[in-house]
Structures are given as C-alpha cells and as structure tokens.
Amino acid sequence: MAVSSTQVSVHVKINGQEITKECEVRTLLAYFLREQLGLTGVHVGCDTTSCGACTVLLDGKTAIKSCTVFAPQVDGHELLTVEGLGEADHLHPIQQAFWDCHALQCGYCTPGMELAVLALLQRNPNPTDEEIRFGLSGNLCRCTGYKNIVKAVHQAAEIMNHPSTSQSVTL
C-alpha cells in the first residue's frame, strides 16, 4: 500500500514518454501537467468539471477532465495530451480537420475538444451529428457555435477510416 503525506512521487507515461516527478498530494492533474511538466496545451477553463478544456486521454481511450483528478491518482498510468496528438508539420487528422473546417476561433477549447473527439471516434468511427453533439456535450466552446466542430469530426472520421487516401498521420 502506498502511503503518503504531502509530497509524493508520480510515475506516468505521458505522450509516450516515461516521467517521474514529485508533487504535493493535493495537486490537481491539470496543474501537474501544466506547471510541473510544461504541457500548457492542457487548458483550465472553469476548474469545476464543466467546460472540458482540461480533457486528456487516460490509458489511451478514456477522456477525463484533469481538473477533477489528483495527480497521484494517475501514478502507473498513461496519458495523452494535445502535445502528443500531432506535430506542427504533421498534424493529426483531427487537428487537420479542425483547421480545414474552421472548427476553432480563439482555440481555448480546442485541445480538450480534440482529445474528446479522439475518444469518441475510437468507440464510434462513424458517428451521426446527434452522436457527435451528445458525445461532446462535456466540452464547451464559446466561439464557434459548434457547427464547424461537428463538420470537422465528420471529416476526421472520414480520413481516419480511410487513411490511405490522405497524407495525414494515422492513429
């Protein structure tokens, strides 16, 4: 049994890289990622589990709101943040689709939104408009009005289902 007061060592695999870092037990995962590891693509919008800007992927498939998890709780697990999704010159199909469809304006919601989209497409590769809207209801966007996000999800699904027809990276 791991027993710790105040300081604890957290070992996680983040975006493919093994990392061990000390933190205070009460550190929220979102702040651990942003402040301790410099992964500032993890945004904090509300800090009350509402907006989804802090969404990251746990163990490759589960979208979670990192403002509502303590950092030591992910010890021994794997995480994906937007930094691990694609690269500037080699965007992930979801990122490319967001770009192509104008699915972002200020971009604040985008990293969390894209990770929620990835989880959605992993469990449902051909979602309907309604399934997309329901599946992304934990991610709020103040700018786009969502229409172009829905469009982008369809485009991303198309590319991810037929990777050979596009230049973009696959999963």
Partner 1 sequence: MIPAAFDYYRAKSIQEAFFAKQQAGADAKWIAGGHSLLPMMKLRLATPPALIDINEIDGLSGIRLQADGLVIGALTHHAEIAHSEEVVRTWPLLAQAAGLIGDRQVRNRGTIGGNLAHADPASDLPAVALALEATLVAEGPSGRREIPASEFFVGPMTTALSDDELLTQVRFPVPSGKVGSFYCKYPHPASGYAVVGVAAVAQLGPDGKFQAVRVGVTGVGMWAYRAETTEKELVGKLPTQENIASAAQHAVDETDVSQDLFASEQYRTHLAALYTVKALQAAVQAIQ
Ligand X SMILES: Cc1cc2nc3c(=O)[nH]c(=O)nc-3n(C[C@H](O)[C@H](O)[C@H](O)COP(=O)(O)OP(=O)(O)OC[C@H]3O[C@@H](n4cnc5c(N)ncnc54)[C@H](O)[C@@H]3O)c2cc1C
Which residues of this protein are in contact with ligand FES, per CB under 6 A?
44-47, 49-54, 65, 67, 104-110, 141-144
d(C-alpha 21, C-alpha 17), whole Å: 13
Q: From the CB of 19, what's the least distance to ligand X, in Å?
A: 26
Q: From the CB of 167, what's the least distance to partner 1, in Å?
A: 30
Among ligand FES, partner 1, ligand X, none, residue 82 binds (CB under 5-8 Å by kind): none
Q: At 64, list the tokens.
A: 């979670």
Q: Do residues 152 and 94 touch, judged by C-beta distance below 8 A? A: yes
**CB nearer to partner 1: pick between 52 and 93:** 52
Q: Do residues 99 and 91 touch, judged by C-beta distance below 8 A? A: yes
Residue 37: DSSP 8-state = T
**CB nearer to ligand X: pick between 37 and 69:** 69
Q: From the CB of 47, what's the least distance to ligand X, in Å?
A: 11
- CA 9 from chain center: how many Å? 24
Q: Is 88 helix (H, G, I), strand (E, B) or coil?
A: coil
Among ligand X, ligand FES, partner 1, none, residue 45 binds (CB under 5-8 Å by kind): ligand FES
**CB nearer to ligand FES: pick between 140 and 169:** 140
| Residues ≥6 apart with Cβ < 8 Å to 86 | 92, 95, 96, 169
What is the residue type of 60? G
Q: Is 86 helix (H, G, I), strand (E, B) or coil?
A: coil
Q: From the CB of 49, what's the least distance to ligand X, in Å?
A: 4
Q: Which residues bind partner 1 (CB under 8 A)?
A: 1-6, 8, 24-26, 28, 47-50, 52, 55, 58, 62-65, 68-70, 72-73, 75, 116, 119-120, 135-139
